[in-house]
Amino acid sequence: MDFEQMMLNDRAYQYFRIYSTLISMRAGVYSINDVAQRVDLPYPKAYKLTQGLVDELALIDPKADSLIADNGSLDTTNLTVDLNTLRYHLISNQLPYQAIYYLITEDEPSIDDFCKRYETSRATVFRKIKPLNDQLHNFGLHFTFSHMNIVGDERKTILFLFCIFRLATEGVIWPFGEHLQAVALEVRDQFMTRIQVPSEWENSDVFPLILAIASLRMRQGNYVEDDERYEILIDNNENYDPRLLDSELISQRHYPDLTNDRKQAMLHFGYQLLNILPVFRKVDRYLQTTLDYCYSRNNIVWQFATEFLNYMQEKSFRMPNRLVLDKVLVGNVINVALTGYVFDGVMPTLSIIANSERNILTGGYDYADLYHEIGTYIDNLPEKYADFHGDREQMVQSLYYLLLPIYTEYKKEYHIRVGLMVPGDSMLYRRYLDLYSGFNYIDIEPYDATDFADYDLIFTSSISFYLDVKNHADKRVCYFHQGSAESEISPLLTAREYYLKKFPTLPQIGAIY
């Protein structure tokens, strides 16, 4: 069950499927039967659902041109509602989202008040939020209903709620009131003047959304507990400011029973998020600070990262480039290790809650070698790692995800072989060789007829060659028209689709955002 199925009833889910299909098609006029076939629905049902979809779009933008043309066909040339807007509109009007929103925004949430407000019954609430409750159980959390709440490790509750709102809004819609948004942005800006934060947080909604959710939970009297394992993040850390939360903005929020110990626990959790939420993508100042700090302390996560990468270098990466010299990779392995060290059990992530396969463009699937080698290492950790209580599968999958792109670039058997046939001079050939050579998983070479059977794909601008092969029902040949940018790019999209079918990737990548 994916996120949309979990949050929408069947009718709303079909609205979403139909509209996402229409958005993905070239703008034009289509019959309802065309769309019915694409979404695999019988015509009568597709017809009724399309009528309902039009009503939903009118609620969002009453002035928009109707999706249904006068002749009964579907005209997508003037669509004004983007998919994210419709998606959030549908999700926010469904009971699972309403229950979560009510639970976090009301001062005294109760099941009786919720049922009265939304004119529903307890039985209906329990039935419709069951998929959400099942997700909570994955993380050792659960709902309570007399006083509506999520109980368990409060850190996981905050991350779970972050994932729900992040997935619902796709980061383009602010789900709470304008005042809370203004406060969250101001707090973020104050924090960034006093401590280093990941560069991607500077203009992202991640930081304000986390702050808003934590603030709403604290207003209800829900606080994280401190943990001695946080010492690994703050011991002589120049980026640690013990008085960061001592600001007028925070004191004005009037959190109930906010003792100094609770404030310190929240501060420590915040520092934990600085090294769990980001997935490093480039070498920036914050990554370098993280590496310098862990190296200078020679702490347990630094030892894990370097020992693990040296082990994998010997077992699976027999290449001259040393894994431990890749700063981005080391930083991300440190984050995985911190998650396993500071959290017990499974940590909520976007990919687990979305239940989606996030294919990696540069990643193949070598279950027998790479995945099992990582699993073997985790299953035989030395005694000094006995305090790592994170979920074994989550750690293995996260490490697998980090190493997979490097591994498949290094292992030629996880590339696809492409022959390039371009009639013309060498300069023209070079132009297309440069265009198609920018992908680590494609090995492209001049077409040779003697190797015809060995190619995974053949890219060609020769219409005669293409038609000749097509007549023999060989689907490996991709034709492109020289001078048409859209046509020239199409072989790469075909190659991507072919590659992901040949080497399907592991689902549930352990990324938080």
Domain with residue 450: its CATH number is: 3.40.50.10330
Q: Do the beta carbons of residue 351 and residue 358 sit within 8 Å?
A: yes
Do 44 and 67 belong together in one domain?
yes
Do 116 and 230 belong together in one domain?
yes
If phi > 0 it is left, if psi is from -120 to 50 it is alpha, else beta; for residue 439 that is beta
One-letter amino acid identity for 209? L
Do 142 and 244 belong together in one domain?
yes
Collapsing DSSP states into helix, strand and coil, what is residue 461? coil
pLDDT for the residue numbered 455? 94
Boundary of a domain, candidates 244, 274, 304 = 274
Tokens 């689907």 correspond to what residue? Answer: 475
Do 117 and 252 belong together in one domain?
yes
One-letter amino acid identity for 511? A
pLDDT for the residue numbered 68? 84
Do 77 and 201 belong together in one domain?
no
Helix, strand, coil shares of the chain, percent, nearest 5, are 60, 5, 35
pLDDT for the residue numbered 504? 64
- Number of domains present in the structure of the chain: 4
- Whether 87 maps to a domain, the answer reads no
pLDDT for the residue numbered 280? 87
- Whether 109 maps to a domain, the answer reads yes
Alpha helices in 243-360 (DSSP H): 248-251, 260-274, 285-297, 300-315, 327-342, 350-354
Could you state, in chain order, the average pLDDT of each consecutive group of 10 residues for the chain (513 residues)?
91 95 88 92 93 93 82 85 93 97 95 95 94 93 92 96 94 92 91 86 85 95 94 90 85 86 93 81 91 95 97 87 94 94 92 65 53 92 94 90 82 86 81 84 89 92 84 82 88 87 56 44
Residue-wise burial string across 287-303, b where 16 or more C-beta atoms lie within 10 A, e elsewhere = beebbebbeeeebbbbe
Q: Dig out the tokens for 387 from the structure.
A: 């305090």
C-alpha to C-alpha distance for 459 and 422, rounded to whole angstroms: 8
Question: Which structural domain, as residue segments, surrounds residue 340?
Answer: 293-410
Do 482 and 344 belong together in one domain?
no
- Whether 90 maps to a domain, the answer reads no
Do 219 and 186 belong together in one domain?
yes
Kindly report the pTM of this predicted structure.
0.86
Do 106 and 20 belong together in one domain?
no
Do 400 and 421 belong together in one domain?
no
Burial of 325 (0-12, 13-18, 19+ CB in 10 A): exposed
Q: Do the beta carbons of residue 148 and residue 109 sit within 8 Å?
A: yes
Do 437 and 481 belong together in one domain?
yes
